[in-house]
Amino acid sequence: MNKLPLGLAVDLRNVVPYKTGSWRTMKPLNIMQTPPCSHSCPINNDIRGFLRLLADKQDFDEAWHVLTRSNPLPATCGRVCPHPCEGGCNRRDFDYPLAINSAERAVGDYGLEKHLEHKKLIPKRKEKVAVIGSGPAGLSCAFHLAKRGFQVKIFEAKGEPGGMMRYGIPSYRLPQEVLTREIEAILRLGIDLECNAKVGVNIPMDQLTQFYDAVFMGVGAQLGVPIGVPGEEARGVYTGVDFLKLVNSGKSVEVGRDVVVVGGGNTAMDSARVAKRLGANVCVVYRRTRVEMPAITAEIDEAMEERIMFRYHTNPVKIIADEGRVVGLLCVQMELKEPDASGRARPVPIPGSEAVIPADTVIMATGQAVDYDGLEVQRIDNKWISTNEVQMTSIDKVFAGGDAVLGLETVSAAIGQGMRAAEAIEDYVEGQVESRLSPPPVIYSKDLNTYYYKKSNRFQREALPVHIRLKGFSEIYPAFDRSEITREAERCFSCGLCFNCANCYMYCPDNAVKKGKSGTTYEFDLDFCKGCGLCAKECPCHYIQMTLEK
């Protein structure tokens, strides 16, 4: 033993520090929580994850893989999704929400440009699943099953895969090329595709349930439903779905000079804007007002930019035809009364307010329905397929999702349903009964310490000028600059996940926050932590939370 210096009774080098951790009643914990963007996303995309990759490493490659863990169609969703994620973004209460949708499109486009391939999670398993319909729901279900090793076959009634994305969305919003290549990437997971095979007509449903371990129905709502006014059989009257299908299949449609579109949903907006691009004067007739329109707000704005006329409080009464060809639409003015069951104001006609709108073409975008030809499943209101909580229909081992179940919804909602159905099918095939882990709680603005964030402007995508847009079907928003997208990603608050700001490390009065082994994470030294909660309070993203000491 070394001799102690004069006056010392204890060798200070061997003294064990006093463990102040015993004073604690609360202790800090790193808790990863759900950011509101992922929570609002129908697919629960890991938005925070891919944005952080873009911000920290400018790694579009890895970001694409993170995004396609849940969403097989990022380039498509980046164009057509009404982005509820941005509505949820906590940055909304601070300055402006992040341009998540644009970032998604940039990442999706990068994946297409570099021909990135999806990765399989499980190489191969023997179970076989049939998917009816190759719309967003069917593709998503097939994708998630194929990634888990299932042998998947898609039956598509039409000539090309894509469903409503191919036949219902005009190419100025979603170029066919983008969709085709994204679908090809999905099919390269080893998915069989049989086109022109309509289940219930060409192939009986029984055959599928017999040969496959499970069946997914993503049949969509392909039938246009007119509202039933006299004269609908006249030439020049289309349903919105049929009209878009004709144009998207490359058939030439003569719309004439004046086009009247009836309805206020997304199909109505698309039909109107397509008709405008075909050279017509377009008027949208809707019986309520803009506020009640179910269409995506941005779509209405863009339609207005393109000088499409809107007539609110107007309802068609009769289609006027001359020699079997439509020449006008007799309409009546409506007034809005107390709300109906849907929560929207109930329109009531004003007597004596009839007027004729001249029209060479009338497009009835007033509703869509499921084509049940040869399919016998239990329905709700005789309209939509009825499913249980794991999306199984009334037929055993037949699952369903997408517009046919939800009613009319978005591409992303259908993808989300396809994904959840795939999980349910996996559980069903494996005989799992336990429910999957529910995601952690959501973080809202009130939980964040926004002092540490700087206010900044949102990425603004630039639209083509209207006169160029109307010349053809070229995409409205040209490709984005990637460096601007990474700069936008840096605005992400990273709600609920450490982004290495080191506040906890610097502020702990007890030095009880230590750097982790990797140097990018922080750990609590519970021997000394007194549980004051300063780290949790000063954590900008609420990743640190105080919990009761056991």
Partner 1 sequence: MITASSEDLYKVEKKDLFASGHRACGGCGQALAARLVADAAGENTIACVATGCLEIFSSPYPDPSWRIPFLHSLFENISAVASGVEAAYKALKKGPVNIIAQGGDGGTADIGFQSISGMFERGHNVLYVCYDNEAYMNTGVQRSSFTPFGAKTTTTPMGNTTRKKNLPLIAADHGIPYVATATVDDFRDLQRKVKTALLINGPKYLHILAPCPLGWGHTGDLTVAICRLAKATGLFPVYEIINGKVANVLKIQEKKPVEDYLRLQGRYRHLFKKGVPVKEVAEIQEIANQNIERFNL
Least CB distance to partner 1 at residue 21 (A): 9
* N-terminal to C-terminal alpha carbon distance within the chain: 41
Q: Which is nearer to partner 1, 24 or 379 (CB)?
A: 24
Dihedrals phi, psi of 83, to nearest 5 degrees: 40, 70
Strands (E), 121-236: 128-132, 151-155, 192-194, 214-217, 223-224
Least CB distance to partner 1 at residue 451 (A): 7
Q: Which is nearer to partner 1, 17 or 472 (CB)?
A: 17
CB 249 within 8 A of CB 222: no
CA distance 116 to 109: 10
Least CB distance to partner 1 at residue 165 (A): 47
Q: How far is CA 419 from CA 27, 70, 285, 422, 529, in A?
A: 38, 7, 37, 5, 43
Regarding 158 and contact with partner 1 (CB under 8 A), the answer is no
Dihedrals phi, psi of 34, to nearest 5 degrees: -80, 125
Least CB distance to partner 1 at residue 539 (A): 11
- Among positions 292, 427, 484, 510, the unique one binding partner 1 when judged by CB under 8 A: 510
Q: Which of residues 490-509 bind partner 1 (CB under 8 A)?
A: 502, 505-509
Q: Which is nearer to partner 1, 25 or 457 (CB)?
A: 25
Q: Which of residues 451-480 bind partner 1 (CB under 8 A)?
A: 451
* Partners of 514 in the β-ladder: 523
Least CB distance to partner 1 at residue 278 (A): 54
Q: Which is nearer to partner 1, 32 or 506 (CB)?
A: 506
Q: Which is nearer to partner 1, 342 or 518 (CB)?
A: 518
Least CB distance to partner 1 at residue 524 (A): 11
The enclosing H or E element of 246 equals: helix 240-248
Q: Specify the long-range contacts of residues 246-251, CB closer than 8 Å, at least 24 apart.
A: 247/170, 247/274, 247/278, 248/166, 248/167, 248/168, 248/169, 248/170, 248/171, 248/176, 249/167
Q: How far is CA 30 from CA 440, 545, 547, in A?
A: 13, 7, 10
| 3-class state of residue 362 by DSSP | strand
Least CB distance to partner 1 at residue 532 (A): 3
Lookup: tokens for 294:
């179910």
Per-residue binding string, partner 1, 1-30, x by CB under 8 A, is ---------x-x--xxxxxx--xx------
Least CB distance to partner 1 at residue 504 (A): 11
Least CB distance to partner 1 at residue 533 (A): 3
CA distance 286 to 352: 18
- Residue 278 identity: L
- Among positions 207, 388, 474, 511, the unique one binding partner 1 when judged by CB under 8 A: 511
* Choices 42-50, 233-241, 364-372, 534-542 (CB under 8 A): range interacting with partner 1: 534-542
Looking at residue 15, the DSSP 8-state letter turns out to be P
Q: Which is nearer to partner 1, 139 or 541 (CB)?
A: 541
Q: Which of residues 299-358 bind partner 1 (CB under 8 A)?
A: none
Least CB distance to partner 1 at residue 426 (A): 44
Q: Which is nearer to partner 1, 19 or 120 (CB)?
A: 19
| 3-class state of residue 76 by DSSP | helix
Short-list 283, 236, 287, 279, CA closest to 257: 279
Lookup: tokens for 504:
């906890």
Regarding 295 and contact with partner 1 (CB under 8 A), the answer is no
Regarding 531 and contact with partner 1 (CB under 8 A), the answer is yes
Q: Which is nearer to partner 1, 26 or 464 (CB)?
A: 26
How many residues in total does the chain contain? Answer: 550
- Among positions 528, 540, 541, 543, the unique one binding partner 1 when judged by CB under 8 A: 528
CB under 8 Å to 254, separation ≥6 — which residues? none
Q: Which is nearer to partner 1, 13 or 126 (CB)?
A: 13
Least CB distance to partner 1 at residue 213 (A): 54
Q: How far is CA 187 from CA 136, 183, 207, in A?
A: 13, 6, 23
Q: Which is nearer to partner 1, 23 or 211 (CB)?
A: 23
How many residues form the binding site for partner 1 (CB under 8 A)?
32
Q: Which of residues 418-437 bind partner 1 (CB under 8 A)?
A: none
Q: Which of residues 265-294 bind partner 1 (CB under 8 A)?
A: none
CB under 8 Å to 311, separation ≥6 — which residues? 283, 284, 285, 286, 331, 357
Lookup: tokens for 64:
């694409």
- Among positions 534, 541, 542, 545, the unique one binding partner 1 when judged by CB under 8 A: 534
Q: Which is nearer to partner 1, 10 or 291 (CB)?
A: 10
Lookup: tokens for 46:
């890991």
* Choices 160-168, 242-250, 346-354, 532-540 (CB under 8 A): range interacting with partner 1: 532-540
The enclosing H or E element of 320 equals: strand 314-322
Least CB distance to partner 1 at residue 509 (A): 4
What string of DSSP letters covers 384-445?
A: EE---TT-B-SSTTEEE-SHHHHSS--HHHHHHHHHHHHHHHHHHHHT--SPPPPPPPBP-G
Binding site for partner 1 (CB under 8 A): 10, 12, 15-20, 23-24, 451, 502, 505-512, 525, 527-528, 530-534, 536-538, 546
